């Protein structure tokens, strides 16, 4: 694909911009074609051979995913508050699920440090498995 400075939405038609929005919503090429009034092969051509269409689609995908990731990050703190409240109330199922999650967490390589396993922690899981709790 040729190197383009930046996709300019003015270089795309209204049909192409609408097609991009529909593709971002998860519509099939056939559904998009019918909605914007072109053939499925036209949509395929835009996807495979039109660098401006490809670049704008990718730009919008990044925009959508960036927003979704930001939202997920903000919800993480709320979820942790809910878990903390459940743990404070002594809800065993929540505590076990939380321990399971924490057990499987692994920090990124650059943050990883040598940690000696805590035998009691492993023994706790073994006992819970024997009891059929975990």
Is this model's pTM higher than 0.75 or not? no
User: Looking at the domain assignment, is residue 60 inside a domain?
Assistant: yes
φ/ψ of 11, rounded to 5, equals -85, -5
Q: Which helix (H) or strand (E) holds 85?
A: helix 51-88
User: Looking at the domain assignment, is residue 100 inside a domain?
Assistant: yes
Which single residue is written with the structure tokens 């051509």?
45
Listed in sequence order, the residues at least 6 apart from 86 whose beta carbon sits closer than 8 Å to its beta carbon are 94, 95
The C-alpha R_g of the chain, in whole angstroms, comes to: 25
Shared domain for 70 and 94, answered yes or no, is no
User: Looking at the domain assignment, is residue 56 inside a domain?
Assistant: yes
Shared domain for 48 and 94, answered yes or no, is no
pLDDT in tens, the chain (134 residues): 444 445 565 789 999 999 999 999 999 999 999 999 999 999 999 999 999 999 999 999 988 888 877 887 788 788 788 888 888 888 888 777 777 777 766 665 555 555 555 555 566 667 666 766 55
Measured distance CA(21)–CA(35) in Å, rounded: 11
What b/e string do you get for 40-60 counting C-beta neighbours within 10 Å, with b at 16 or more?
eebbeebbeebebbbbbbeeb
Question: What range defines the domain where residue 124 resides?
Answer: 90-134
For residue 109, the 8-state DSSP code is G
Shared domain for 98 and 50, answered yes or no, is no
Which single residue is written with the structure tokens 């209204």?
14
Residue 30: CATH number of its domain: 1.10.10
Question: Residue 72 corresponds to which tokens in the numbers above?
Answer: 């997920």
For the chain, how many structural domains are there in total?
Answer: 2
User: Looking at the domain assignment, is residue 80 inside a domain?
Assistant: no
User: Looking at the domain assignment, is residue 102 inside a domain?
Assistant: yes
Shared domain for 15 and 41, answered yes or no, is yes
Shared domain for 25 and 1, answered yes or no, is yes
Q: What is the pLDDT of residue 2?
A: 46
């Amino acid at each position: 694909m040729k190197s383009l400075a930046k996709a300019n939405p003015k270089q795309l038609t209204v049909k192409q911009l609408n097609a991009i929005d529909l593709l971002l919503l998860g519509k099939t090429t056939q559904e998009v074609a019918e909605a914007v009034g072109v053939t499925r092969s036209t949509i395929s051509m835009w996807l495979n051979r039109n660098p401006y269409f490809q670049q704008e689609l990718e730009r919008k995908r990044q925009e959508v995913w960036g927003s979704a990731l930001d939202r997920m990050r903000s919800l993480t703190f709320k979820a942790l508050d809910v878990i903390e409240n459940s743990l404070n109330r002594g809800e065993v199922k929540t505590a076990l699920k939380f321990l399971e999650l924490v057990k499987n967490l692994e920090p990124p390589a650059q943050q990883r440090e040598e940690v000696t396993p805590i035998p009691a922690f492993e023994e706790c899981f073994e006992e819970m498995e024997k009891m059929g709790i975990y």
